[in-house]
A and B are shown apart, each in its own frame.
Chain A
Amino acid sequence: MNNIDKMIVRKLQNDIPLCSNPFTILSKEIGISERQLLKRIREMKKIGIIRRFGATLYHRRIGFKANAMVVWQVPKEQVEVVGKIMASFSEVSHCYQRSTCSKWPYNMFIMVHGKSSLECEKVVAKISAATGIKKYKLLYSTAELKKSSMKYFMEK
């Protein structure tokens, strides 16, 4: 990450201007040409520095009101296969294998989104049937205390 890259990140982690030529404005603020900026953004997408470029929605506002985090105890040797099956469900937005500890035996985490908790539970039952994993828990969120996008390279 050179300084230009860091400046690009600082710009793109915020809202881009909603006008005809947003990248012209950003490139001027960064001090490079628009062509250079567009090229670098495409490269960052290609190598995965940028996971996604586009709109982030308030999903609760578009009908996905129930959000369950489901944690599973998946035997180590099944993690690869089970993870892929879980990820294949369209209602699952995130699927991670995480570290465990003595206080926490669940190694697989998914987020399920639906219109209601009943809809989420049906999906979870389907996933359990498809994977054969019976040890799991649904942890519904009861309050969103913070949701922000990370601001990188802002440390002094």
Chain B
Amino acid sequence: MEIIWLKNLGVYIKDARGRKVMDNVDCQLLNIIQNEFPIVSQPYKVLGKRLKIGEDEVIQRLKVLKSEKIVRRIGAVFDPRKLGYVSTLCAVKVPEEHLEEVTEIINSYPGVTHNYLREYDYNMWFTLIVPDTEMIKAVLDEILQRTGISDLIVLPAVNLFKIHVNFDLCGRTEDAE
């Protein structure tokens, strides 16, 4: 898969065989549906009208964008706190030789939604979402006990300034390679 940036046009992506899998209509569609998915009975028809293509074509394009692993999911992103849940970021120091087993243990919790290795002495960073504050402690105690890790930092958010992820696919002005 090769990504090609077109000046003032956006991006399209070619796969290994040189097949074009994404064009400017896809870019516009993706820009719109990251934030402005129509909450109406026939959303893909409304999107088609905006893009001057048919409803079937919108659905077909989204099927391709999903199978090409560009679109992960179409649905709602919830605010955990408004659903009564509690979330926090955590980091642990994991010795190199234990990375695999510790990853397996930490990832096994459904409330662990993200987990990344980072270049730092606290090298494993994960987010935890659970139904109440007591469970944060309970899950983390269990993780420490199961992994044998002693160095953990718990860093809940106290103030959110930005949480929006919207990737602009049309506005980039890079030259084609």
Contacts and interface: CB of A to CB of B under 8 A. Distances in A.
Q: Which 9 pairs, one residue from A and one from B, show the smallest C-beta to C-beta distance?
A: A97-B159, A87-B162, A12-B76, A54-B37, A83-B161, A95-B161, A146-B115, A145-B115, A95-B162
Contact of A94 (B41, B112, B163): B163
A122 B33 CA distance: 29
Interface string A112-147: 010100000000000000000000010111111111
Contact of B33 (A54, A94, A150): A54
Contacts of B176: none
Nearest to A50: B76
Nearest to A107: B158
A28 interface: no
18 contacts: A12-B75, A18-B44, A18-B66, A22-B43, A23-B41, A34-B41, A42-B39, A47-B82, A54-B37, A58-B71, A59-B165, A61-B69, A63-B3, A69-B116, A93-B165, A139-B125, A140-B119, A155-B131
Interface of B: 1, 3, 5, 11, 13, 30, 33-37, 39-45, 55, 59, 62-63, 66, 68-80, 82-85, 89, 91, 103, 106-107, 110-120, 122, 124-126, 129, 131, 151, 153-169, 172, 174
A96 B159 contact: yes
A16 B75 contact: yes
B161 A152 contact: no
B72 to A, nearest CB: 5
A24 interface: yes
Interface string A41-55: 110110111111111
A4 interface: no
A7 interface: no
A145 B117 contact: yes
B113 A9 contact: no
Contact of B59 (A18, A49, A110, A155): A18
Contact of B118 (A98, A139, A155): A139
B12 to A, nearest CB: 11
A90 B164 CA distance: 10
Contacts of A20: 42, 44-45, 55, 59
Contacts of A140: 118-119
A9 B78 contact: yes
Given A53-B37, A69-B118, A141-B118, A13 B43 contact: no
A58 B73 CA distance: 9
